[in-house]
Each structure stands twice: as structure tokens, then as C-alpha cells.
């Protein structure tokens, strides 16, 4: 996966590549999907949710510019795979999931893999995680209709936010940097994530009806 898909598609960050090489992605999917676990695509994880495509995990993780001593917030724990990758690259990881069953499963796997610097929390991540703010980096693994102000407020100065923003079905990846003079923002790859549902995200009914 690392050599033939990530490097081949232009991922150059050696720390990110090493972290992804060290996390067994097949343990984060059900036994019937393990043969496909190293394909470069999103896979179902139950509850109508997905584990993200490896390329997208690598790209988003690289955009966070982690050096090793950061406190990171992930919104959308899902299977826990992205959190396991982050655990190799940062000092402390808080990951928030709205679906209890997914959070419990992820917590078990992260414990099994000894990712002791990761805390899994069940809550509506659209309002961030004020009790543990501020963060050096925030990564949002679900599609937002707009950028919730809470994420900007909960970033440290020089902190980075990576988030897919757009419609229910297609988005663009945004990287936001908070500086002492304000916000800088850049746009990269088009993407398609499951919806970020909650107070500052999509309405749950709307997302199922769409």
C-alpha cells in the first residue's frame, strides 16, 4: 500500500508513510473485508460509515505538519484507523465519534494496538472538544457544510485545521492555518466523505433523505 499506492500518488512525507506502514489496516475492518484492506479505497465499517481511503488519510495527515509533540483533535473516529496513525505522529490524540458502537469498537482496537496516547470520546464533534482545547491540529474526517467557528477558536496560534467542506456528496479539502494576524486558507483535492452530522454540521434526517 505504502510503496505502490501512497508513494506512487505523490505522498512524500516519510514520517506519515512510516506511520501508515506500521498500522495494520486489516484489523480495522470486518473479517470479510480484510482481503481488500490494503486497496486504496474507503470500505464500510458498519452503521452506514466508512474507513477512509488510505491516500486521503496520508494526504490529510501530512497537511497537519505534525512533528511529534502536538495535541491533536480528530472529529469522526469511525474505525479508529486514522487515530492509530495519528498516535504514531503526535504526543496526544483526542478523537470524537457520535456513534457509540463505533467508538467502543475503535477504543478496543486502539487499546489492543497499545495506542495509549489516544482518548476516544462520544459526542457531537461539530462543536470541537472545548474541555481539551486548544489543539495544535484538528482533522475532520467527515464532510462539513461550512467550517464550524469552534474549530478555529480551539486552535492554538500556528495551529492547522484540515477539513472537507462542500455539499452532501462532494467536497474540497481545506487547510486552514490560524496565525496571530488571522486565518490563512488553502484548498487542495476534491473528495467525497460521509456527512458530518450535528449542531454545526448536517441535519441527521436531511443526510438520510438526500
Minimum CB distance to ligand SAM, residue 81 (Å): 4
Q: Burial, 203: exposed, middle or buried (Cβ in 10 Å; 0-12, 13-18, 19+)?
A: middle
The nearest distance, CB 130 to ligand SAM, in angstroms, is 14
Pairwise CA distance, residues 50 & 185, whole Å = 27
CB-nearer residue toward ligand SAM: 99 or 155: 99
Using CB atoms within 10 A of its CB, is residue 208 exposed (0-12), middle (13-18) or buried (19+)? Answer: exposed
List CB contacts of 76: < 8 A, sequence separation 6 or more.
Answer: 82, 95, 96, 97, 125, 140, 141, 142, 196
Instruction: Please give the torsion angle defined by the CA atoms of residues 56, 133, 114 and 86, in that order, rounded to the nearest 10 degrees.
Output: 20
Minimal distance in Å, beta carbon 65 to ligand SAM?
Answer: 19
Q: Rank residues 31 and 182 by Cβ distance to ligand SAM and give the closer one.
A: 31
**CA-to-CA dists, residue 24 to 34, 75, 126, angstroms:** 10, 21, 29
Point out which residues bind ligand SAM (CB under 6 A). Answer: 49-52, 75-76, 78-79, 81-82, 96-99, 102, 124-126, 141-142, 193-194, 196-198, 201
Of these residues, 30, 52, 180, 207, which one is catalytic? 52
Beta carbon of residue 89, minimum distance to ligand SAM (angstroms, whole number): 14
Q: Which is nearer to ligand SAM, 18 or 157 (CB)?
A: 18
Answer yes or no: 52 catalytic: yes
Which residue numbers are catalytic?
A: 52
Amino acid at each position: 500500500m505504502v510503496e505502490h499506492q501512497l508513494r506512487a500518488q505523490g505522498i512524500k512525507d516519510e514520517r506519515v508513510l512510516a506511520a501508515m506502514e506500521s498500522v495494520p489496516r486489516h484489523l480495522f475492518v470486518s473479517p470479510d473485508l480484510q482481503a481488500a484492506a490494503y486497496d486504496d479505497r474507503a470500505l464500510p465499517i458498519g452503521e452506514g460509515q466508512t474507513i477512509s481511503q488510505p491516500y486521503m488519510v496520508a494526504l490529510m495527515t501530512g497537511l497537519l505538519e505534525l512533528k511529534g509533540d502536538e495535541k491533536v483533535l480528530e472529529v469522526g473516529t469511525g474505525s479508529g484507523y486514522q487515530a492509530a496513525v495519528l498516535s504514531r505522529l503526535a504526543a496526544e490524540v483526542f478523537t470524537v465519534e457520535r456513534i457509540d458502537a463505533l467508538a467502543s469498537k475503535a477504543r478496543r482496537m486502539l487499546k489492543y494496538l497499545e495506542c495509549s496516547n489516544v482518548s476516544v470520546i462520544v459526542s457531537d464533534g461539530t462543536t470541537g472538544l472545548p474541555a481539551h482545547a486548544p489543539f495544535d491540529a484538528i482533522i475532520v474526517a467527515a464532510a462539513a457544510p461550512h467550517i464550524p467557528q469552534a474549530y478555529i477558536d480551539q486552535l492554538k496560534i500556528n495551529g492547522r485545521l484540515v477539513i472537507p467542506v462542500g455539499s452532501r456528496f462532494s467536497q474540497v479539502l481545506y487547510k486552514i492555518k490560524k496565525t496571530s494576524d488571522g486565518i490563512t486558507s488553502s484548498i487542495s483535492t476534491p473528495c467525497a466523505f460521509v456527512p458530518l452530522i450535528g449542531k454545526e454540521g448536517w441535519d441527521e434526517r436531511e443526510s438520510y433523505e438526500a
